[in-house]
């Protein structure tokens, strides 16, 4: 009975050994067994195939034989540390591992370690997998990803570039549209100006022309010497009508020059006190009965500014003050000059400007609603504003119905630098 059991047990053991031997020999992974000292004691055929060694060449040699020389020194330290606390674990997941063949070539590997103990001592079995093909595939994938990333970046760059080109094209289209709109607006304004010119010209020219025609006809009837006074009266009426026509034409000519950019400010040395005093005396001829112009001057006499532009500005403001003030009213003409600026005020006690009209008073062809039958083209204050701005100045006003209007002008004293230096 005992012999039968022993035989059965022996057969069972033999069968297990044969199966383990078959697994060892036919495993697709390289298997290398080392002792605690790192000496190779066993390896399977796959390991011999991977490393290119025979049993006799490897058994009894240190495991570092299979490690690249550049890493062998570090591996000894890692091996000693592992045997201090051996446990089953995989290697090569967090770092790249390399093994060395008999011909010295290297190849990437993945290694799993599993410790075991027998009566002969402590051992470690290493399962080694050649991952050369996997690494090649990973490299291909990485290169493909890099290529995809590069293409994506190029595509994004092209998209950005194309977007910028489209944005530029859109801006150009918008600019073109704006230019077309401005041109259309300009054309409409010109057409409106033409219509307004025809309307104003037909209205404003009719009265002085009728006066000239009637006075010229009447002069012919007064042939006797005692009728000289009557002839002179009509001659004065003709002169006044011609003056009105000249002013109207000058307004239109000034607007035309401003539109074409042919008006420029040319500062010259000017005796401003003499200039304004002379203008005051000249314009008094336009005053109504008992109207007075009170001229007040303070500051330096000599300043630098454009005399012709300033004359047109002051003549327009003073003539408006006369035109829109009743007989017997006083007009104040104040001038104050310094080394840096000229400040001018023209104040009347006339009809004033309605509040609703004040925001449009400098618009071309605009006339306040209370202007009545007073002659005018609606261009004067627009021209005044343009001339003041050409002299790099500012114009403002305050007005109250029934009490009057005050126009204020600030113009820089444009003394040339050489004059300033000589003054110093």
182-203 pLDDT, tens digit each: 888 877 876 666 666 555 555 5
| Confidence (pLDDT) at 404 | 95
> Can you name the residues that pair with 97 across neighbouring β-strands?
109
Query: What is the value of pTM for the model shown?
Result: 0.50
Summarize pLDDT for 242-272 with one digit per residue, the tens: 666 676 667 667 777 877 788 899 999 999 9
* pLDDT top residue among 21 and 66: 66
Q: Which part of the chain has CATH 3.30.450.20?
A: 2-134
Identify the pLDDT of residue 199.
57
Residue 340 has pLDDT above 90, yes or no: yes
Strand partners, 115: 124
* 127's tokens: 């399962």
The architecture in CATH of the region 2-134 reads 2-Layer Sandwich (3.30)
Residues 116-168: tens digit of each pLDDT: 998 899 999 999 999 899 889 988 999 989 999 998 888 888 888 888 888 89
pLDDT the model gives residue 258: 77
* More confident of the two residues 178 and 419: 178
* Predicted local distance difference test score (pLDDT) of residue 5: 67
Return the higher-pLDDT residue of 407 and 379: 407
User: Cα–Cα distance between 34 and 208 in angstroms, integer?
Assistant: 129
Q: Mean pLDDT across the stretch 95-116?
A: 91
391 closest CA partner among 302, 304, 280:
304
What is the CATH number that goes with domain 263-423? 3.30.565.10
Please list, in sequence order, all residues whose beta carbon lies within 8 angstroms of the beta carbon of residue 246, skipping any fewer than 6 positions away.
none
First to last CA, the chain: 141
Place of tokens 């009057």: 404
Whether 420 shows a pLDDT value over 90: the answer reads no
Residue 396 has pLDDT above 70, yes or no: yes
**Ranges for all domains in the chain classified under CATH 3.30.565.10:** 263-423
Q: What is the pLDDT of residue 27?
A: 83
Counted residue by residue, the chain has a size of: 424
Q: What is the pLDDT of residues 275-330, one digit of tens each?
A: 999 999 999 988 989 999 999 999 999 999 999 999 999 999 999 999 999 999 99
Residue (of 186, 243, 188) closest to 211 by Cα position? 243
Residue, of 401 and 201, whose pLDDT is higher? 401
Q: How confident is the model at residue 424 (pLDDT cuts 50, 70, 90)?
A: very low
Distance between CA 387 and CA 312 in Å, rounded?
Answer: 8
Range from 164-173, 267-276, 332-341, 390-399 carrying the lowest mean pLDDT: 164-173
| Residues forming a β-bridge with 51 | none
Buried b (16+ CB within 10 A) or exposed e, 120-145: eeebbbbbbbbbeeeeeeeeeeeeee
Q: Which two tokens stand for residue 251?
A: 């307004």
CB atoms within 10 A of CB 148: 10
State the Cα–Cα distance between residues 412 and 398, nearest whole angstrom: 21
pLDDT at position 1, please? 66
């Amino acid at each position: 009975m005992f012999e039968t059991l022993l035989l059965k047990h022996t057969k069972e053991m033999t069968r297990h050994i044969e199966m383990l031997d078959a697994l060892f020999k036919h495993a697709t992974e390289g298997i290398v067994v080392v002792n605690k000292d790192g000496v190779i004691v066993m390896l399977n055929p796959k390991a011999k195939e991977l490393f290119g060694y025979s049993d006799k060449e490897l058994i009894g040699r240190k495991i570092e034989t299979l490690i690249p020389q550049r890493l062998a020194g570090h591996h000894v330290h890692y091996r000693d540390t592992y045997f201090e606390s051996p446990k089953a674990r995989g290697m090569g997941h967090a770092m790249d591992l390399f093994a060395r063949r008999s011909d010295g070539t290297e190849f990437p590997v993945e290694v799993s370690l599993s410790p075991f103990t027998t009566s002969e001592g402590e051992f470690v079995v290493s399962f080694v997998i050649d991952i050369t093909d996997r690494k090649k595939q990973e490299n291909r994938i990485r290169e493909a990803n890099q290529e995809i990333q590069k293409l994506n970046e190029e595509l994004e760059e092209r998209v950005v570039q194309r977007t910028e080109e489209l944005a530029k094209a859109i801006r150009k289209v918008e600019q073109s549209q704006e230019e077309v709109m401005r041109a259309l607006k300009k054309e409409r304004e010109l057409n409106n100006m033409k219509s307004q010119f025809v309307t104003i010209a037909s209205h404003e020219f009719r009265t002085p022309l009728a006066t000239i025609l009637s006075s010229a006809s009447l002069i012919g009837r007064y042939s006797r010497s005692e009728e000289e006074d009557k002839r002179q009266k009509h001659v004065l009426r003709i002169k006044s009508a011609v003056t009105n026509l000249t002013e109207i034409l000058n307004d239109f000519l000034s607007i035309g020059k401003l539109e074409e950019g042919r008006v420029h400010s040319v500062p010259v040395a000017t005796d401003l006190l003499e200039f304004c005093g002379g203008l005051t005396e000249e314009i008094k001829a336009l005053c109504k009965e008992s109207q007075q112009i009170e001229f007040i001057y303070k500051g330096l006499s000599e300043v630098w500014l454009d005399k012709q532009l300033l004359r047109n500005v002051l003549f327009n403001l003073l003539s408006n003050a006369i035109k829109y003030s009743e007989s017997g009213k006083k007009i104040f003409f104040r001038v104050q000059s310094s080394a840096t600026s000229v400040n001018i005020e023209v104040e009347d006690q006339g009809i004033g400007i309605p509040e609703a009209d004040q925001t449009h008073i400098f618009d071309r062809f605009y006339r306040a609603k209370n202007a009545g039958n007073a002659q005018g083209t609606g261009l004067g204050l627009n021209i005044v504003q343009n001339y003041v701005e050409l002299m790099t100045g500012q114009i403002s006003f305050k007005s109250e119905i029934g009490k009057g209007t005050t126009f204020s002008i600030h113009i820089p004293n444009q003394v040339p630098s050489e004059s300033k230096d000589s003054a110093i």
